[in-house]
Structure 1
């Protein structure tokens, strides 16, 4: 399996996870106030985590495939808007063809807003930057919702695994 195929599958799975936990958050008694919840004062709130998560596949595709993508700089203000952004990110991922991704060893260089520049190979960018950043923010979103009292568990985070579950053997 190519690094591109693996990355796209990860985006598919985890964007579905995000959509699922946002749906659970919608039903919670705290409602859309959850969008402003945060784990610590110096951390971003749930709405910003959602924005970052939804931007990240497009940012990676722009760096790797030349996709014309502009990251959103505003947070979703409602759960409906969060779902729309998730759907948009899922559509970008679904439209990406692994054959259009660069060879694993091709160079990728990028500069962060703080001026730090990184140079690495395409597969390293995916493995060492794009995926860890993506997982960091989706894990933060999950943790915020858990801290706010949502009944979430591992099955909510890796629900896509149930398609692989074998039925127990009859006794």
Structure 2
């Protein structure tokens, strides 16, 4: 049995975003129980030159939706990066998950060889679709999900490995 581009992308992104959503729910509860202004957690960073939590969530959302859209050569939905609350971040993740779950798997057929071009500050990066997915899009997505997890864990939110990974067997 071979693994399709759809199977290697959409369910992986949905699971990561679902777990991230659950982590944010715990972070919101943590802020409430400890009487911490949620804005403090949302603006937290692991290091001064890194993005704050809100931006980590926005980039993870963008990484997922842009990946499947680029692979399918379609226009992704546009979400303004204006979230300032846990509720707004939760809504953004929910919209991203809905977009992914509604994505037509047939649009990703043949995308393993489709050339994906990314305009970067230093120039254009060009990948065959499979390399884009495996060596850029997925690592980028997980970098930002992991960084969001690290920010919250560093700030005392009681989360662990299975919050990040999700419950075994959960798809």
TM bucket, shorter chain? 0.7 to 0.9
Which residue in the other structure is 2:12 paired with? 10
Structure 1 stretch 23-32 or stretch 42-51: which is displaced more?
23-32
Give unpaired runs (5+ residues) of structure 1.
165-171
Select which of 133, 137, 150 maps to 1:143: 150
The alpha carbon displacement at 1:41 in A equals 0.6
57 and 163 in structure 1: CA distance in 2 versus 1, 3 angstrom threshold: closer
TM-score (norm 1): 0.88
Contact residue 10 and residue 68 of structure 2 kept, 8 A: no
Structure 1 stretch 132-141 or stretch 6-15: which is displaced more?
6-15
Which residue in the other structure is 2:140 paired with? 133
The alpha carbon displacement at 1:44 in A equals 0.5
> Where in structure 2 are the equivalents of 1:11-160 lying within 5 Å?
11-28=13-30, 29=34, 30-32=36-38, 33-69=40-76, 71-103=78-110, 104-112=112-120, 114-160=121-167
Contact residue 9 and residue 68 of structure 2 kept, 8 A: no
In structure 2, the residue corresponding to 1:77 is in which secondary structure?
Answer: coil
Contact residue 118 and residue 124 of structure 2 kept, 8 A: yes
Contact residue 43 and residue 53 of structure 2 kept, 8 A: yes
152 and 143 in structure 1: CA distance in 2 versus 1, 3 angstrom threshold: same
75 and 133 in structure 1: CA distance in 2 versus 1, 3 angstrom threshold: farther
TM-score (norm 2): 0.88
What CA RMSD, in Å, does the superposition of the two structures yield over aligned residues?
1.7
How many angstroms apart in 2 are the aligned matches of 1:107 and 1:163? 33
